Every structure is written in C-alpha cells, then in structure tokens.
C-alpha cells in the first residue's frame, strides 16, 4: 500500500510538472506574439465595428470620396476592413509608386472576390488572371497581337465610319431643334466601333451581348455580401449576386460561341494581318499554337473578347461624357478647344486621323488630360492583392491584403495640383495647368500624380485603343457643332454628381442641344441662315458677329414637322438599334430657340416611336 501511494504521488508530480511546462510555454509564446505584433507597424485606419469592420465609415458617400476624406485624417496609407476583407488604401503619388512600381511584383496579383471569380471563370481572362506565366503569356498576346499600335491604326476606317454615322444622326437632331442625350449617343459610337474591331460585322446579337456585359459590371461593382464575408454561406444565399453573374456569363459565352462557330464555318482568312479583326487574330493564334506554354483555348478567347468589350467601351464612353460636361461648364475652354479643331480641319471639312493631324491638337489633349485627372473612369483602379509581406512608406502590409489605389483622390491632391495665379484649384477644370513643364505629364502610367489607366505590369493594355476613340470622337463633335444646355441660363450649375459603379459614370442624363456649324459629309444638304452669335475672344474682347446656322431646307420650328421628320432622318446613314448603356432616350425634341418645355423623347428601339416623355430641366434629378 505504501508503495502504491508513493507511485501515485510521483505520477501526480509529473502531471503538475507537465502542466507547469505547458503554462510556461503558453506565456512565452503569448509574449513573443505580442512582441512581434508590437514590432510590426501596421498602417493607421479608422475605428472598426464587429462583423462590418470599417463599412460604416463609407455609408452615405461614394467609396472613393469617403476614402479620400478618411485619408485626410489617417494618412495616404490607410488600413480598412471591409467586412472580413483587410484592405489597404493608398492616396498619394508616393504610395502609389511603391505599390505600382517599386513593389510591382508583390502587388501584381488581382484580388479575386467571389463575384469577380464567377464572372471570369476563376480569373481566366486578362484583367483578373493571377500573376504568373499564364498571365504573362496573355499580356504578351494583348500587347503584340491585339492592341499594338499597328493593330489600333488598322481600325482607323472603322472609327471614322462609326463617328461619321453618329454625326449624321446628331446633325438631323440639330436640324429639328432636338437635344441629344450624350451618354447614349457616345455609347452608340464607342460600342459599335469596339464591336466591329473585335468581331467584325458578324455579331447579330450585339445588343443582348452588351446588355449582359453591362449587367455583370453592375453586379460586380456593388458591395456584395459574398465579397465582404466570403466565409459566410448565409451571405451568399441572401445576395444571389454570384448566381446572377454566372447566368450573365453563360449568355455572353453562348453568344460568343455562336459568333466563333460562324467564323470557323466561313473558312475564310484575311489576306493579311492588317485586315484581321481581333477575333481573327485570336483564332489564328489558337490554330497555330506553336510556342505557347499555355494553349489558348476557346473559353480564354471568349473571356478576352468580353474583357476588351467591357473595359474599352465603358472607359471611353464615361470619359467622353465627362469631357463634354466639363467643356459645357467652362465656356472659355470650350471656345479654345473648338477654335483649335476648326482651324486644323476646316480645309478638309471633316476630322480625320490621317497624317497625325489629331496628334497636333495641343489644347484638345490638355482637355483630355484634365478630364482624366478629375474623372478617372475607374477611380479605385482594379483591386490588387499583396502576395507576400511588404512595406509601403514604412508601414507593414500583411500577405493577402486587398489593395486599392485611389487615383481619384490623387488627381485632386493639392500637393500635386496647386492652385495657380491664373486660376485652377485642384477641384476646378483648368486644362492650362498642363502647359509648360506639366505638359510632359502623360496618361500612360509614367507620372504617378495622373493614373487614369493605372501603371506598372497590370496597367490597362488598351490605352492606345481608348485614346484613339476619345480623340477622334471629341474632336469631331467640337468641329461640326456648337453645344447648348436647354433650359439652363448658367451652364456652370450643371449637375456633376457621380453614380456608384466599377466606373465613375455621370449620375444624371447629359442633355445637350447641338447647333450645326460645319456641314456633316453625307448628311442631308443644309442651307445656312444667319444668326447673331457671341464671337468674343477667350479674353472677353471682341463684338457680336453673325455666324451661319445650318438648317435643312425642309426644316421648320413647328413641332409637328420635327416629329414627322424623325423616322426619315433616322434612316439617313444610321442603323436602328437599342443600345446597352443608354441612360435615357437618345434624343429629346425641343423647338429651336426656346427654353426647356414639355417635349417628346425618342426611344432608341427597333422601330422609331414617340414615347411622349416629358423633358425635365437639365440640372434636376430624374
């Protein structure tokens, strides 16, 4: 018995010793963990709540606006938690340079949320492909085969034809005194130019295709529960965004599959690479296949085309709308840009890309830069992910952190864009800020104070394609027309609110009345009538002088004539179609020379019709 008691006491002693050792190890590990945490310098950020993290700080504002305001308090490198997702927000050129250049490879991987993964088949496209050998191969194909300078130049005739078609339709609206809804008009020309460059004339389901692309972009751009709480099954069930995106993707891939099969059945190849559209080039690479580490399969081809549609079309249309809105609000800049374009192309009678003429429009390029500074199409760029522990401006960034670059805030940073003696605070539209030394600042990612298309390895590969469309379209609109705001005596009061989305679209319709100044080739013959217009110079000097106003010989200010003429004018060099991104009706009818009053909205449908919609004042919310 005594022996058993001794054994029991010994066993109990061993247990106590083991417990003491475990407790000591726990204390040491906890202390070490706290020491490591103290040594790690995480970026500052606002206070957080359980479950939602920092989301309450973004409530009631557009995300890039709210993040700019938070950065003013917490600094240009700031850590948020959006639901479960740790998110680094950088808001200065120096911080952006470290993310996009200094540590480019660390931040080269895209953050794949649940909705983005569903819309890209797990990142099999170019925009969201994980950084690695496959992405490098896709990027090389895009840079050398699809969006190279020679390829973009080969689409010149397509751009000019589509712009000319839209100009003829706008000229008909000008003759009847109708206003134009600019976003719808610009989406038409951009989408048709893009569609013809991508898939030629074979796309019979273009409208359905573009509708599904736009629907997917709207779903991805919201704060979806699946993206904010990826570990929660309940969040996915409540939202359903992933299922909707998968349905849209199924429709898009089905349409593209029919286009590809038709192209393959035709068994006709272009006579040269210069005659290829982008689908031809992709099918050629798919067929040859030699030297590719990762074969270019049909799903990848479809996703690449969808990428180029969604990125190129939306970006260009958004930037063009903002440029026109800013020019309308700033008559001096409008006069200077218009005068420059008309001086350059008056002998030819139309704007053309030939002989590098567009490249010589110095002030027009300043306008495009300034519009890009104030209204970058993607204000937070596309999200990146930190692939390994890294430092940004001395702050530690943990692996797996989502990274957003607030290029909208950088474009309005007072340190980068100080107010000049001649005017031009960071919040004002003032193209002259890019003159002299600042004229070297470009849009191609070389200057980190101006990043509308990003920079570094994941910079938008379609910059040349986008700028070619922007320059030709904007120059043509200014060359042929003067532009007025119906029902608004002071254009400076034009509403400039933005809408929530993956791109920063203008929230309301932009209704402008065109006044034809230079005849549009191919449109109905016009007769000049004289109307006194303000011909003062940009400095305010000069006198009112007559300026010809072009009207159709059969035209009239009578509303009945204008309405009756619509179906006939729609057919003048213009295809009928319903378009994807139309924020409202394409045209709204106004009797010439009057202020805003009840009018007729023209719906862009398979058959032209009158909706009887009342026209509202430009600045009001619709």
306-339, pLDDT tens digit by residue? 988 888 788 899 999 999 999 999 999 999 999 9
Q: What is the pLDDT of residue 212?
A: 86
Q: In the predicted model, what is the mean pLDDT of residues 26-48?
A: 67
Q: In the predicted model, what is the mean pLDDT of residues 134-147?
A: 92
Q: Is the pLDDT of residue 582 over 90?
A: no
Three-class DSSP labels, 108-133? CEECCCHHHHHHCCCCCCCCCCCCCH
Q: What is the pLDDT of residue 594?
A: 33
Q: What is the pLDDT of residue 316?
A: 93
Q: What is the pLDDT of residue 552?
A: 36
d(CA 468, CA 158): 11
Q: In the predicted model, what is the mean pLDDT of residues 16-40?
A: 54
Q: In DSSP terms, which residues pair with 550 in a beta bridge?
A: 528
| Helix axes 463-480 and 331-345, enclosed angle (nearest 10) | 90
Q: What is the pLDDT of residue 157?
A: 93
Q: What is the pLDDT of residue 292?
A: 82
d(CA 418, CA 430): 12
Q: How many residues does the chain have?
A: 622
Q: What is the pLDDT of residue 436?
A: 75
Q: In DSSP terms, which residues pair with 587 in a beta bridge?
A: 180, 602
What pLDDT band is residue 591 in, cutting at 50, 70 and 90?
very low
Report all structural domains of the chain as residue ranges with CATH numbers, in order of start. 133-610 (1.10.630.10)
Across the chain, mean pLDDT equals 79
Contact at 8 Å (CB) between 176 and 572? no
Q: What is the pLDDT of residue 560?
A: 29
Q: Is the pLDDT of residue 583 over 60?
A: no
Which residue matches tokens 């608004």?
488
Report DSSP state, residue 451. Answer: -
The gap from C-alpha 468 to its chain's centroid, in whole angstroms, comes to: 15
Q: What is the pLDDT of residue 40?
A: 74
Q: What sign results for the dihedral spanned by CA atoms 253, 259, 262, 266? A: negative
The gap from C-alpha 205 to its chain's centroid, in whole angstroms, comes to: 23
Q: What is the pLDDT of residue 39?
A: 59
Percent of the chain having pLDDT more than 70? Answer: 74
**If we measure between CA atoms, which residue out of 574, 609, 619 comes closest to residue 589?**
609
Interior/surface letters 3-18, b for 16+ CB within 10 angstroms, e for the rest: eeeeeeeeeeeeeeee
Phi, psi of 391 (to 5 degrees): -120, 140
Q: What is the pLDDT of residue 253?
A: 92
Interior/surface letters 428-466, b for 16+ CB within 10 angstroms, e for the rest: bbbbbbbeeeeeeeebbbebbbbbbbbbbebbbbbbebb
Question: Is 295 exposed, middle or buried, given 0-12, 13-18 or 19+ CB atoms closer than 10 A?
Answer: exposed
Q: Is the pLDDT of residue 340 over 90?
A: yes
What pLDDT band is residue 477 in, cutting at 50, 70 and 90?
very high
Q: Is the pLDDT of residue 372 over 60?
A: yes
pTM of this prediction exceeds 0.85: no
What pLDDT band is residue 175 in, cutting at 50, 70 and 90?
very high
d(CA 243, CA 254): 17
User: Which stretches of 278-389 are DSSP H helices?
Assistant: 278-288, 298-308, 314-329, 331-345, 362-374
The SS3 of residue 556 is coil
Express each pLDDT in 183-228 by its tens digit: 989 988 998 899 899 988 756 677 788 788 888 888 887 788 999 9
Residue 545: which residues within 8 A CB-CB, separation 6 or more? 532, 533, 535
Express each pLDDT in 374-414 by its tens digit: 999 999 999 999 999 999 999 999 999 999 999 999 999 99
Q: Is the pLDDT of residue 427 over 70?
A: yes
Which of 175-179, 481-485, 589-593 has the least mean pLDDT? 589-593
**If we measure between CA atoms, which residue out of 295, 352, 328, 570 comes closest to residue 471?**
352
Whole-angstrom CA distances from 527 to 7, 530, 552 are 118, 10, 6
Q: In the predicted model, what is the mean pLDDT of residues 267-280?
A: 70
Express each pLDDT in 86-110 by its tens digit: 999 999 999 999 999 999 999 999 9
Phi, psi of 218 (to 5 degrees): -65, -40
Q: What is the pLDDT of residue 549?
A: 38
| Largest CA-CA distance found in the chain, in angstroms, rounded | 126
Which residues make up each annotated binding site for heme? 460
Report DSSP state, residue 465. Answer: H
Q: Is the pLDDT of residue 16 over 80?
A: no
d(CA 135, CA 435): 38
d(CA 141, CA 303): 14
Phi, psi of 62 (to 5 degrees): -65, 145
Q: What is the pLDDT of residue 35?
A: 45
Which residue matches tokens 């629907």?
215
Q: What's the Rg (C-alpha) of the chain?
A: 29
What pLDDT band is residue 602 in, cutting at 50, 70 and 90?
very low
Q: What is the pLDDT of residue 457?
A: 92
d(CA 214, CA 217): 5
d(CA 328, CA 335): 10
Q: What is the pLDDT of residue 21?
A: 57
More confident residue, 417 or 543: 417
Q: Is the pLDDT of residue 490 over 70?
A: yes
Which residues make up each annotated binding site? 460
Q: What is the pLDDT of residue 33?
A: 46
């Amino acid at each position: 018995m005594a022996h058993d008691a001794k054994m029991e006491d010994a066993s109990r002693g061993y247990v106590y010793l083991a417990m003491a050792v475990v407790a000591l190890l726990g204390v040491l590990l906890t202390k070490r963990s706290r020491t490591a945490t103290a040594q790690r310098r995480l970026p500052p950020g606002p206070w957080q709540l359980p479950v939602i993290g920092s989301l309450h700080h973004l409530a009631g504002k557009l995300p890039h606006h709210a993040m700019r305001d938070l950065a003013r308090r917490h600094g240009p490198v700031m850590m948020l938690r959006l639901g479960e997702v740790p998110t680094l927000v950088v808001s200065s050129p120096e911080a952006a340079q470290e993310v996009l250049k200094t540590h480019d490879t660390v931040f080269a991987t895209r953050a794949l949320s649940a909705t983005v993964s569903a819309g890209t088949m797990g990142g099999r496209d170019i925009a969201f492909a994980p950084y690695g050998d496959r992405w490098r191969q896709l990027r090389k194909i895009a840079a050398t085969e699809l969006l190279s300078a020679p390829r973009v130049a080969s689409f010149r005739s397509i751009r000019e034809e589509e712009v000319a078609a839209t100009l003829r339709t706008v000229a008909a609206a000008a003759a009847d005194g109708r206003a134009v809804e600019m976003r719808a008009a610009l989406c038409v020309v951009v989408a048709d130019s893009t569609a013809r460059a991508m898939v030629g004339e074979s796309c019979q389901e273009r409208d359905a295709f573009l509708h599904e692309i736009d629907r997917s972009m709207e779903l991805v751009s919201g704060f979806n529960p699946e993206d904010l709480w990826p570990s929660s099954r309940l969040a996915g069930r409540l939202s359903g965004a992933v299922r909707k995106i998968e349905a849209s993707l199924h429709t898009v891939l089905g349409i593209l599959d029919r286009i590809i099969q038709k192209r393959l059945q035709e068994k006709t190849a272009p006579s040269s690479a210069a005659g290829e559209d982008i689908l031809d080039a992709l099918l050629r690479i798919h067929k040859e296949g030699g030297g590719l580490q990762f074969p270019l399969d049909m799903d990848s081809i479809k996703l690449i085309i969808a990428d180029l549609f969604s990125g190129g079309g939306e970006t260009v249309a958004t930037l063009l709308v903002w440029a026109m809105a800013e020019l309308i609000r700033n008559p001096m800049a409008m006069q200077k840009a218009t005068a420059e374009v008309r001086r350059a192309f008056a002998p030819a009678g139309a704007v053309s890309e030939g002989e590098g003429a567009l490249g010589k429009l110095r002030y027009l390029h300043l306008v495009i830069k300034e519009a890009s500074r104030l209204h970058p199409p993607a204000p937070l760029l596309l999200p990146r992910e930190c692939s390994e522990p890294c430092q940004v401006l001395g702050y530690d960034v943990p692996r797996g952190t989502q990274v957003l670059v607030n290029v909208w805030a950088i474009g309005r940073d007072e340190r980068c864009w100080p107010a000049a003696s001649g005017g031009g605070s960071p919040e004002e539209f003032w193209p002259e800020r890019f003159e002299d030394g600042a004229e070297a600042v470009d849009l191609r990612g070389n200057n980190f104070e101006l990043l509308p298309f990003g920079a570094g390895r994941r910079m938008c590969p379609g910059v040349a394609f986008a700028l070619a469309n922007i320059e030709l379209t904007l120059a043509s609109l200014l060359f042929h027309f003067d532009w007025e705001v119906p029902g608004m005596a002071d254009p400076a009061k034009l509403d400039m609110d933005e809408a929530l989305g993956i791109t920063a679209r203008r929230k309301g319709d932009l209704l402008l009345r065109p006044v034809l100044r230079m005849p549009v080739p191919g449109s109905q013959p016009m007769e000049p009538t004289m109307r006194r217009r303000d011909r003062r110079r940009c400095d305010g000097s000069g006198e009112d002088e007559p300026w010809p106003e072009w009207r159709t010989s059969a035209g009239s200010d009578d509303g009945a004539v204008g309405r009756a003429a619509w179906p006939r004018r729609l057919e003048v060099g213009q295809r009928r179609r319903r378009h994807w991104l139309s924020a409202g009706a394409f045209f709204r009818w106004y009797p010439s020379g009057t202020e805003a009053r009840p009018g007729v909205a023209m719906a862009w449908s398979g058959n032209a019709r009158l909706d009887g919609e009342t026209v509202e004042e430009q600045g009001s919310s619709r």
